[in-house]
Amino acid sequence: MHLDSEIILIGTGIAPLAAASHLLSQGKSPLLINPDLDFFLENSELPFDPLLSQSLSKRKLLSNSPQHALQEIQPIFPGAIELWPHPSKDRKGYYDPTAPHFRQRGRLWIADSTDEGREEWEKLESLYLETSDSGLSPQILDGLPAIRRFPGASSYTDLYRGLYLPKLWDVDLNRFRLGLLDYLREKIPAHRVIPSASQLEITPEGLRFYSQGAQMTAKASQGLLIFWTPRLTTWLIHQAKQHDFKLNSPLGVKLWEQWFLNLTEAPSPNTIGIYKDMAVWAHFEGSPSQNEPERFGSSLFPHTTQAELTVLAANQFIPFRNLDSALSNIQWASTDSFSDLSHLCLDFLKWDLFTIRSFHARALFEWKESQALAQSLSPVFPRVQIISRCDGPLVDVLQTVRQVCEALQE
């Protein structure tokens, strides 16, 4: 089995897959090594930037414009990407209902009338002034116009104020990831995409590892790229100690909880709402019915029995130096988590009750903005590059990969 390659890619998630797509377009033959059985088991990407109130800035908002996002998403994806809402049936042209949908949805930040809410509102007002001349068309909403736009709100009150931006991006993440993986499986021989690799050992020539119970060796003529997500942390720390090298570590890990809630009435799909440390949006793939742009559910998606509301809630931040001990003791879906979720559903959205359909836990790195994207493993292995910023919002991950692959051509 011939495994020698120009470049070996190690990682889980979409970053090594996006890099493989770039390298194929450059005429190179990559080798993909994944320690997990499934590339997306870690689930390390987000369909959009949560943009919680405390982290908002004009620069971040501009980087989340649809124009910027499309510049990163379209070149890497091998097939059609549909804009949402899709063209009307009267419009001629190709339309693929199974393709990933790129959405331009309104984003709404809500502040309440508490002391904490008033302090938050001052930040939102400042942001409104900063972005008024940026082309983002921000709007100040008070009372009913604010809360009625929030997805899932069942009754209206005048106790809230909001900052509304008509169009920021999000994308069908699962469709995008699976479409890219299927494309690579067609372009790269099956024996050169190796999941469940274990006992990875970096050598001067390339990589030694075990797969399906057998030891394998692969040479890399141009180098080896390691895409650092939390899944690879223990192994990378071991490699750094073995080669007497100090890693440029992330600031730490931000923990997230993603809740999927059942609804009896479908919420509007047109807005992503942010309230306190939670991002809330209607969960669906593809495009809602062209005939019913404000509603969707089981009648439009035969495999969906109920409408869903997704809540992405920020949990604690763990400094990198405390990572090992803190992660072993973290309580996912704790009493505090249920309390925050209850406050959102019962007190803010004014539901009588709520039902949890499923729950996902996330752990994503946070990095210094000034930190370089790539670092060499050691002076002994200058061609072994460790790549940071490989998890989080999809567009940020794709931007990282593009910049790394462009640097390889220089």
pLDDT in tens, 92-106: 666 777 889 999 899
Residue 133 is encoded by which pair of tokens?
């001349």
Which amino acid is residue 306, in one-letter code? Q
CATH architecture type of domain 5-44+175-249+369-409: 3-Layer(bba) Sandwich (3.50)
Report the CATH number of the 64-169+251-365 domain: 3.30.9.10
The pLDDT assigned to 3 comes to: 85
The pLDDT assigned to 306 comes to: 55
The pLDDT assigned to 380 comes to: 72
Residue 317 is encoded by which pair of tokens?
């931040």
CB atoms within 10 A of CB 320: 16
Q: Which long-range contacts (CB under 8 A, 24 or more apart) does 335-341 make?
A: 337/257, 337/313, 340/276, 340/277, 340/278, 340/313, 341/259, 341/311, 341/313
Domain map (residue ranges) of the chain? 5-44+175-249+369-409, 64-169+251-365
Cα gap 152→272, rounded to integer Å: 10
CB atoms within 10 A of CB 170: 24
Q: pLDDT under 50 in the chain at which residues?
A: 290-305
pLDDT in tens, 315-339: 989 999 888 766 666 667 778 889 9
Is residue 374 within 8 A of residue 380, CB to CB? The reply is: no
SS3 of the chain: helix, strand, coil, percent, to 5 = 30, 30, 40
Cα gap 340→249, rounded to integer Å: 31
The pLDDT assigned to 274 comes to: 96
Q: What is the pTM of this model?
A: 0.90
pLDDT in tens, 257-268: 999 999 877 788
* Pairing, β 355-366 against β 252-263: antiparallel
